[in-house]
Amino acid sequence: KFPRAEATPGALLRCGVLQVILGKDVKANESFDKLGRLYPDSPEAKSMHFVRAKALVEMDFIVDAKRAVMRMVENASAYTPGQFLVIAGLMKENNEREAALAAYQKAIARADDPEIDRPIIERALYNLGVLHYDRQFYAEAATALKDLLKKADFRSAVAVRVNGKAVDLATPITEE
């Protein structure tokens, strides 16, 4: 009824998420596509794949969530390093290693400020190392962990974990 109202992008995003929850995938896709097409510069459109991926993981629709994560990766400039870190952790928890790797790499790539984004960079490098090690890609694991040691502030939680203390940085962040 009010297709160009200020609240329309938010309504389309919430509508799409509700349609996903109700199992109406075709309608959800239509809502998300309409949001992206009509309001591409809105904050809702820029965060829709993140919101969608989180909702899909919460409902245990991991294959669909992985697709949403890969759309995030394709449109990386629309997402923050923190959003990539959160979604990477969710993908890692659900054994979607390729999606987790891609999201951790984007978290690092999108980190602009080495001081402000340091906790994100450290956590992403640590988890990249773990994922590569689990896949028996030892050279890649070593590279990620060497990068971590170069960038780590040894007063930080990551460095405490690296030095064998009790803080466990493999625990994913669930909110940005």
pLDDT above 80: residue 72: yes
Q: CA geometry: angle at 71 spanning 52 and 146, to 5°? A: 105
Instruction: Report the pLDDT value the prediction gives residue 115, as an integer from 0 to 100.
Output: 82
pLDDT in tens, 21-69: 788 878 888 888 888 888 888 888 888 889 889 988 988 889 989 999 9
Burial pattern 37-57, b for ≥16 Cβ within 10 A else e, equals eebeebebbbbbbbbbbbbbb
Instruction: Report the pLDDT value the prediction gives residue 137, as an integer from 0 to 100.
Output: 94
Instruction: Report the pLDDT value the prediction gives residue 175, as an integer from 0 to 100.
Output: 54
- Residue 74 token pair: 């394709």
C-alpha neighbours within 13 Å on the C-beta side of residue 106: 27
pLDDT, mean of residues 63-81: 91
pLDDT above 70: residue 168: no
- The secondary structure of residue 59, as a DSSP letter, is T
pLDDT, mean of residues 117-131: 93
Tell which wins on pLDDT, 172 or 138.
Answer: 138
Instruction: Report the pLDDT value the prediction gives residue 166, as an integer from 0 to 100.
Output: 42
CB 158 within 8 A of CB 126: yes
Instruction: Report the pLDDT value the prediction gives residue 173, as an integer from 0 to 100.
Output: 53
What average pLDDT does the chain have? Answer: 83
pLDDT above 80: residue 176: no
- Residue 97 token pair: 């290693």
pLDDT above 50: residue 167: no
Give this prediction's pTM. 0.77
- The percentage of residues in the chain with a pLDDT greater than 70, rounded to a whole number, is 84
pLDDT above 80: residue 99: yes
